[in-house]
Structure formats: structure tokens, C-alpha cells
Amino acid sequence: MSLTVDQRPGFANAKFPDWLLSLRIPLLVFGHAVLFAIAFVSAYELRFDLQIPADHVANLWRMMPYVLATQILTFWVFNTFHGWWRYVTFRDLLSFVAPLTVTGLLLWIGGQFVSVAKIPGSIIVLHIVLSGLLIMAARSSWRIYSEVLGKAKVPFKKQRPAKSRALMISNHHDTLVLANQINSQTNSATQIVGILTSNKYPRKAVRAGIPILGKPDDAPKFKDEMNVDQVWLVAGSIPGPQLLTLKTLYDEAGLKTLVIPAAIDRSPSGSFIPVREIVIDDLLQRDSVKLDNSLINRQLEGQSIMVTGAGGSIGSEICRQLMKFNPKQLVLVDHRENSVFLIHNELLSLPNTNTSLIPAVGDILDLPRMQMLFREYQPAIVYHAAAHKHVGLMEENPGQAVQNNIQGTKNIADLADRFGVSKFVLVSTDKAVNPTSVMGCTKQMAERYVLALGIQSATRFIAVRFGNVLGSAGSVVPIFKEQISRGGPITITDPEMTRYFMTIPEASQLVIQAGCMGNGGEIFVLDMGEPVKIVDLAKKMIHLAGLPESAIQIRFTGARAGEKLFEELYFDEETMIPTPHEKVFAAKHRTLQYDQVSRSIEILMNCVHESPTVVRRMLQDAVPEYRPTTGRVPSRQEVSVDKDDSDSNLVVSG
């Protein structure tokens, strides 16, 4: 479900002739001149108690042209004749302070040097104050009419359809402002009639024109009292467990719970505010990530950046996040042409027009193609997110995992070293720790190679580990959703299986944060919070579907090859070191010998076309910590989805 609150500029739909629009600025200048003249005359009237002496009357009319010319010129220089009055804000009104102040100074200075141009100081002050009040009243008039008078019931006036009435949960000033903006839109289908907050406010306090009614769990009692049918909240503003409790409470009361994006995720143009229903990401939401934007901006602004795997779940989100920091150019590398096309088109639609976007279709195993891209675009920073990540599929195709995850990483890392890349960030996984799967083992080898290469390279090589991401194609969430829509069963490999989960934006933001913090040689581990039982995840999704838990069968099918019951974030010999960012840790790893790691990769590459058994045995020789698990063999009726997210192996579709 996706609703929108329309915020398109009013004149975009109004039918004004072009000739009238072309006269808009001249008419505004004329209107302001009339207001300035009224203010100047009124200043004299107030100064002399409506009895202006004859000599001052003469001075008033003599100085009128000089005053109007000065004031109009000052407003023109400060560019205050632009902007639609219908959408005037408090910030727009404050923009008049500077030109009014400058006007007053110019009038006073002129009087000091030209005696015939002298205007009494008290009249100058009164004129400036009255000018400001008249302009503010004029510019606010359209909004006052549309928001207050325009909503009054007028006989014979065609009434708009009744709006839905909603409460908004707000613990922050920005949300209060947003609620007021929503109510200001005449085309909005919803009216916010009250605020619920955990903060302490006086009883019946009013903020942004909307009453504070109580706490979030008070919503049900206002359903009938205020004819409310919805509760709105901002994404990420309420921890998942509390949100689940509130949603249950609201469902029982017959209130619909809807979510609007946080300010950072809303369209900068303010063209619309998407409103959606709660998804599983919201229920697993932890405190929002606070980035060190000054550090990130210093390192990324104006740089040439390459992202491999740019069309995948993590790679594409890294690209979206990078665009916020105005890189000079962004090279989007992926072997899937459709994925490159989609992310390239999406980024082109963003308001950032300073970044040059280069869609680059190419395989990281195609060394000449990758070499050409490095030579042509000279990236200063590389985010390497390209990899085969599907655990179950890589168990069946270990040679391909070795080629793509190890040799492909080696290709990009070697080119980064050769072409003088400043930083190389490897996107790794918790499955690389004490690996039990081919995918995890190949990612461990990728970590080893870039860190060993970094010892002898001017390029700063960094690895970042995190767990499963929610909601990407082929991951556990869409599979569960599809199984629920079919009426079940939901199939889970083991009742005790747990995983660390992050949302895609959270993981991508922290990858960028860790990359900017790194000085080379670090393995950064992202704070994944508490592990989540997969069976609990399934139950929450059943609840989100509006069904009782008993309505959908949960079937346990047994662990598959390569699976762990519990994931780990670091090896026993690695020490977790805090960093300046509370959600990023550094793992101090053992010293690696470049020659030894390179020799292991060479041996592995010589056997990639051998049988899966041979490849797995060679991986064990290269990574002693690798302990392959056999698990059960999936039946022909079971379906595994081959997509780009490593948590999809948790589920076997029945």
C-alpha cells in the first residue's frame, strides 16, 4: 500500500495564461511599492498623532520617490520578489529582515550626508516596522485563506470530500512541523487532529497548531471521541518491540497504523510524502544510525568513486547513500545490464546534479574490461560489493564461488593497488568467520587477500563485516511473505536458528562510515544488535498480515549444507576494539603473509573446474577454520531463490 499526501505547487495545476505569468514580477514590484508607500505615510501619521505639520507633509512627498526606489532596489538585490505566496513559510517571512534593515540604514545614512534627504529617525523605524508587517500580512494572506477561511463551510460552495482524521506520534520538533505541513495542503486526504508523544508536555498544550493529546498508548480512547481512524508515525522513530506492542493495541481498537519516511529519506523537493503500512523492517528497527557526516563529506565530496556490484541490494543502496555526499563521479559496475540500467536511472532522478554517473556493464572476472574502467575513470575510492552470496547455491557450485568471490576480489584489489586508489572497502559477511559454507570460506579468503595486499600497498585496504539484510529480493522476508499469501506453510530449517539482521540502508550507511574511518588494514564489524530467531521473525510476519499465529503452519525442514545455527562476527583470536562510532568496531586480526595467501589463491584457481568435492577440500587446505557441514539434501519440491542476499538460504519454500 502506498498513499501520498499531494504537495505539488498550486500553480502547477492552475490555468493561468502565459502573458499573465510573465507579468508576475512587475505586478509584485508594483504591489510592494504600494505597501511601502502606505507604510511611509502611516509612519508620519503615527509619529505626529494623525496631525502632520505642513513642513513635514512637504518632506513626506519630496522623499517618497527616494524611499520607494531605495526599498524596491534593496528587495530586488536580496531576491525577495520570488517564491509562491501560497507556500510561504516562517523562514520566507524572516527573509525580509535583511532587506528591511538595509533599507533603514540607507535612509538614515542618506540623511546624514544630504540635508534635504533627512528623515527623522523615529519615522524611519516606524516605516521599517510597518513595511515588514504589511508585507508579512500580504504574503501570508493566501495561506490564511486556504488553510483557515478556505476550509470554512460556505453556503452554495462545493465541498471537498471529507478527510480521514489521524493522530501522529511525535517525539521531535521536525515531526510537528511535518504535521502542520500536511494539514496545510488543501489536496491532502488526511488531517492530523492530534499529537501523541512520550515527551512531557503540559496538559492540552498546542504545538504547530495541533493539540498534544497524550502518550502513544492513549490513541484508542480518541477513536470515537475525535472520530479518528488512523495513527501515523515516522519510520525509525519507535524501537521495533514497542512498535509491535502499539500496533497490536491499535489493531484491537480498529485503528490503522501508517508510516511516513524520516526526513532524510523524504524527497528533497517536497513533492510528496509517501505513506505506507508497517513492514517487518519497522518491527526489527533499532535506534537510527547517526553518521559522522562531516568526516564522510570531507572524504567523499568531489571524489571519483567506483562501486562494484552496484545493482545488488547492498551495492545499490551504497550508491544511493554516496549521492548525498556529492562525489565528482560514480562508476556503477555490475555484470547484469538490467541491474545497471535500473540503478543508473534511479540515481539520475535524484536532485543531485553535480555527480557524473557512469553505468559500466562488466564482469569483475573480465580483467581487461576492469582495467579499462580503472584507467578511464581513475577512482579514488572503491567499494567492492560484487560477490556470489547465496549460501545454498554456492554449495552446489563451489568453483564459481571461488572464481567470483576470490579471483574477482583479487582482480579489483590488484587494480586498486596498481592505479593508486586511495581506499578500497571490501563488503564482507559474518559468514566469513569460522566458515561452514563455501560462500563464507571464499569471503574469508577475499578478506585475507586484501588485508595481506594492504601491508605492502599505498592503497588503504579495509574489510567490513555484517550479517543478513532485510527485505532484499530472494531474502527471507519476501519468501515468508509469499508463503503467507499462499496460506502457508512457512518452512524454516531449524527452530533454534538465529541470524543477525540489519536494514539495507543501515548496513550501507555503516559500510560508508567504516570505510571513511579506516586507515588501512582494519576489519570493521558492524553492531548488529541482538540475533533474531527465524521462527520469531515468521510469527511477526504472520501478525503483520493481520492473521492469528495459528492460521499459518510453520514447518521445520532440517538444516541444509553450509548452514550454521548461530552466526559469529569475529574469530576467537580477533580482539574487538571500539571506534569513535558507537555502532562500528574494529577487529584486530592476525598478521597475513602476502606470498602465502597468493599461493593459496593460485592453487584454488587451478581446481575451480574440478568436482565440488575437490574444490571444497582445497578450500579446507587454504582456510583451516573452514568446517563444511553436509546437512540434508533438498527435495525436488523445495525451491531455493537465487538472488543477491545471503540470508535466503534460511528458508526452503515448500
Q: Which residues are known to be catalytic?
A: 431
d(CA 601, CA 652): 32
Closest CA to 261 of 326, 155, 178, 192: 178
Q: Where are the alpha helices (DSSP H) in 185-328?
A: 222-225, 240-253, 280-283, 293-300, 313-322
Starting at the edge strand found earlier in the chain, the sheet holding 164-169 runs 2-6, 272-277, 256-260, 230-234, 164-169, 190-196, 210-214, 206-207
d(CA 557, CA 538): 15
d(CA 56, CA 52): 6
Q: Which three cell numbers stand for residue 291?
A: 553518521
d(CA 230, CA 250): 9
d(CA 576, CA 448): 18
At residue 23's C-alpha, the angle toward residues 11 and 81, to 5°, is 75
* Pairing status of strand 272-277 against strand 304-308: unpaired
Do 468 and 506 contact (CB within 8 A), yes or no? Answer: no
Say how many CA atoms lie within 13 Å of 500 toward its Cβ: 18
Q: Which three cell numbers stand for residue 203?
A: 496538559
Q: Which three cell numbers stand for residue 175?
A: 515531526
From residue 201, alpha-carbon distances to 215, 220, 280 in Å are 10, 20, 31
Q: Which three cell numbers stand for residue 81?
A: 520578489
φ/ψ of residue 82, rounded to 5: -105, 165
The amino acid at 536: D
At residue 252's C-alpha, the angle toward residues 246 and 253, to 5°, is 90
The residue length of the chain stands at 654
* Pairing status of strand 230-234 against strand 206-207: unpaired
Do 394 and 437 contact (CB within 8 A), yes or no? Answer: yes
Do 353 and 605 contact (CB within 8 A), yes or no? Answer: no
The beta strand positions in 338-432, using DSSP E, are: 356-361, 381-384, 423-427
d(CA 29, CA 18): 18
Do 367 and 385 contact (CB within 8 A), yes or no? Answer: no
HEC profile of 433-445: CCCCCHHHHHHHH
Do 319 and 343 contact (CB within 8 A), yes or no? Answer: yes
Question: What is 358-380 written as a DSSP string?
Answer: EEEE--TT-HHHHHHHHHHH--S
At residue 383's C-alpha, the angle toward residues 379 and 385, to 5°, is 135
Do 351 and 320 contact (CB within 8 A), yes or no? Answer: no
The amino acid at 523: I
Say how many CA atoms lie within 13 Å of 497 toward its Cβ: 22
Q: Which conformational region is residue 442 in: left (phi greater than 0), alpha (psi within -120 to 50 degrees), or beta?
A: alpha
Q: Which three cell numbers stand for residue 461?
A: 585496504
d(CA 130, CA 76): 19
Do 275 and 260 contact (CB within 8 A), yes or no? Answer: yes
